[in-house]
């Protein structure tokens, strides 16, 4: 599994890069995930607005709602939920697509043409995810902050200047970078695990439609668990 | 050109190939016969280097295929053509794009020349007019013909056909076999055809290999095959029911 990742990463820096396939993946992983990211981002921010206000008001610290929402979203919730959403929407499709290509011998056909299947199936997805997932995470964060603003400021009466002013005081560039590093690593995990599970459909999961469905389930579950596990590792390293 | 020495392969407890040995000389076209599940497709995939044998050796032009590194294997495969049982066309590409794919990816031919070649081969397999369709929009037989055009367009030196005529009507089967025959003669193609089209396939092959229970049960001319009194062959031909 690590060799699969290593080979794919090496190919990312070895031309030729399949630009057409890369752009198609940007659209698939990035653009087509936008709606789900906007929705989950907005509602996550709104829930944080309610919960944050409820908790902070117990200590008379409602003024810190902005930083609380901002830090939670930028450092943790944004990267993790965005990655989980991309896994559910695009990762499952990636595993199923490559799995079907495996059982219908399309991957064998590529090999027999003397072409490296990883260059066609994995590299464009890896590059597209590395660009798309951090961008989607940023959109998630911004939407979440707006969601928190709507609840905290417009509904519960926290001052608008206080919400954003305190957020600016307490959220550093280091926090933003932490979120970006996390989402970058999550993007690699998503493509790596989902492509691997699809690529080796048959060997580990059995052939046929059942094999593909098993590979897809395994891809989503393994990726989700790895995202949370790696999130813990990165948080403890960057704390 | 192709030599197999004691090739063994098992999947779990199922022994698929149990000491297969034979040699195919340059320019020879061999029909590979056998019942369903007798390991014909697995054997072709061994020759193409897609599956490694558990035991035994496979030589292509003197080079043992299992010992080659990725680069050497890619260079050996440059001369290969393989028609998969299900066609293995790329779902996301049209028939035209599928047939053009190996030329686009592996050669530096100008676009116009690729276009001209693709249309020529589509004409040969009777698919002119279907070039804009996706594999999901055409019949199984058409998929197979498109796959054949894709396999032949690079002028391979070794061609492995996995059931090229299954799913085709008798007339189309005959025209596909005669196309294989003409390409075989024009390019001095070395090849192997897995087929159930007996005796039609004997019109283009001079040698038959029959696989039975993981072993070579017969290796000879089509005439000897048809005249053989071997119960395995008679049963394969559907003449005796209770021999095996």
Question: Helix/strand/coil (H, E, C) string of chain A?
Answer: CHHHHHHHHHHHCCCCCCHHHHHHHHHHHHHHHHHHHHHHHHHHHHHHHHHHHHHHHHCCCHHHHHHHHHHHHHHHHHHHHHHHHHHHHHHHHHHHHHHHHHHCCHHHHHHHCCCCHHHHHCHHHHHHHHHHHHHHHHHHHHHHHHHHHHHHHHHCCCCHHHHHHHHHHHCCHHHHHHHHHHHHHHHHHHHHHHHHHHHCCECCCECHHHHHHHHHHHHHHHHHHHHHHHHHHHHHHHC
Q: What value does the mean pLDDT of chain A take?
A: 93
Q: Give which of B182, B81, B72, B77 is closest to B124, Cα–Cα.
A: B182
Question: How many Cβ pairs closer than 8 A exist between chain A and B?
Answer: 43
pLDDT tens, position by position, A63-93: 899 999 999 999 999 999 999 999 999 999 9
Note whether A111 contacts B50, CB cutoff 8 Å.
yes
Does B82 contact A at CB distance below 8 Å?
yes
Measured in angstroms, the CA of B28 and the nearest CA of chain A are apart by 21
DSSP assignment, residue B116? H
What is the per-residue pLDDT for B243?
46
Chain A interface, mutation test: which of B44, B50, B78, B93, most A Cβ atoms within 10 Å? B50
Does A173 contact B at CB distance below 8 Å?
no
What is the per-residue pLDDT for A125?
96
Nearest to A115 among B50, B82, B105 (CB): B105
Note whether B88 contacts A109, CB cutoff 8 Å.
yes
Q: What value does the mean pLDDT of chain B take?
A: 88
H or E element that contains B128: none
Note whether B45 contacts A108, CB cutoff 8 Å.
yes
Which residues on A lie below 8 Å from B82 (Cβ)? Answer: 108-109, 112
Mean pLDDT value of segment A220-225: 97
How much of chain A, in percent, has pLDDT values that exceed 90?
Answer: 80
Does B14 contact A at CB distance below 8 Å?
no
Measured in angstroms, the CA of A61 and the nearest CA of chain B are apart by 56
Which residues on A lie below 8 Å from B88 (Cβ)? Answer: 104-106, 108-109
Length of chain A counted residue by residue? 239
Does B139 contact A at CB distance below 8 Å?
no
Is a pLDDT exceeding 90 seen at residue B150?
yes
Residue A14 sits at φ, ψ, to 5 deg, of -115, 115
Of the given ranges (A159-168, B127-136, B182-191), which has the lowest mean pLDDT?
B182-191
Nearest to B48 among A101, A112, A115 (CB): A112
Within 10 Å of residue A116's Cβ, how many Cβ atoms? 17
User: How many Å separate Cα B231 from the centre of its chain?
Assistant: 27
pLDDT tens, position by position, B75-104: 888 888 899 888 899 999 999 999 999 999
Domain ranges of chain B: 91-144
pLDDT band at residue B242, thresholds of 50, 70 and 90? low
Rounded CA-CA distance B234/B227 in Å is 9
């Amino acid at each position: 599994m690590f060799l699969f990742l290593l080979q794919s990463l090496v190919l990312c820096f070895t031309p030729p890069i399949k630009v057409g396939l890369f752009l198609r993946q940007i659209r698939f992983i990035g653009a087509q995930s936008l709606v789900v990211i906007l929705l989950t981002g907005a509602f996550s921010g709104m829930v944080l607005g309610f919960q944050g206000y409820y908790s902070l008001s117990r200590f008379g610290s409602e003024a810190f709602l902005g930083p609380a929402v901002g830090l939670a979203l930028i450092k943790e919730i944004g990267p993790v939920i965005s990655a989980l959403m991309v896994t559910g929407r695009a990762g499952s499709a990636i595993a199923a697509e490559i799995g079907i290509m495996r059982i219908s011998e399309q991957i064998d056909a590529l090999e027999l043409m003397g072409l490296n299947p990883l260059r066609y199936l994995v590299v464009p997805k890896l590059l597209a995810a590395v660009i798309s997932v951090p961008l989607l995470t940023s959109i998630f964060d911004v939407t979440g902050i707006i969601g928190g603003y709507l609840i905290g400021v417009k509904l519960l009466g926290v001052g608008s200047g206080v919400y954003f002013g305190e957020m600016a005081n307490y959220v550093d560039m280091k926090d933003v970078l932490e979120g970006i590093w996390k989402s970058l690593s999550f993007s690699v995990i998503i493509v790596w695990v989902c492509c691997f599970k699809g690529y080796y459909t048959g060997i580990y999961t059995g052939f046929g439609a059942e094999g593909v469905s098993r590979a897809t389930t395994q891809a989503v579950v393994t990726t989700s668990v790895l995202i949370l596990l790696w999130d813990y590792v990165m948080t403890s390293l960057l704390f | 050109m192709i030599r197999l020495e004691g090739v063994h392969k098992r999947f779990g407890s199922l022994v698929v190939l149990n000491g297969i040995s034979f040699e195919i000389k340059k320019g020879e076209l061999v029909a590979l016969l056998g019942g369903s599940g007798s390991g014909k497709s697995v054997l072709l995939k061994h020759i193409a280097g897609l599956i490694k044998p558990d035991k035994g050796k496979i030589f292509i032009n003197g080079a043992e295929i299992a010992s080659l590194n990725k680069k050497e294997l890619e260079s050996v495969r440059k001369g290969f053509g393989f028609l998969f049982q299900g066609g293995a066309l790329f779902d996301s590409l049209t028939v035209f794009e599928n047939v053009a794919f190996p030329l686009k990816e592996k050669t530096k031919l100008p676009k116009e020349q690729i276009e001209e070649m693709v249309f020529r081969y589509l004409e040969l397999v009777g698919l002119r007019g279907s070039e804009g369709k996706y594999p999901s929009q055409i019949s199984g037989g058409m998929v197979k013909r498109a796959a054949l055009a894709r396999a032949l367009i690079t002028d391979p030196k070794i061609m492995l056909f996995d059931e090229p005529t299954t799913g085709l009507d008798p007339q189309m089967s005959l025209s596909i076999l005669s196309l294989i025959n003409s390409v075989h003669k024009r390019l001095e193609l070395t090849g192997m055809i897995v087929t159930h089209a007996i005796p039609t396939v004997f019109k283009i092959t001079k040698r038959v290999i029959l696989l039975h229970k993981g072993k070579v049960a017969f290796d000879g001319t089509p005439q000897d095959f048809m005249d053989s009194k071997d119960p395995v062959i008679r049963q394969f031909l559907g003449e005796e029911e209770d021999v095996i």
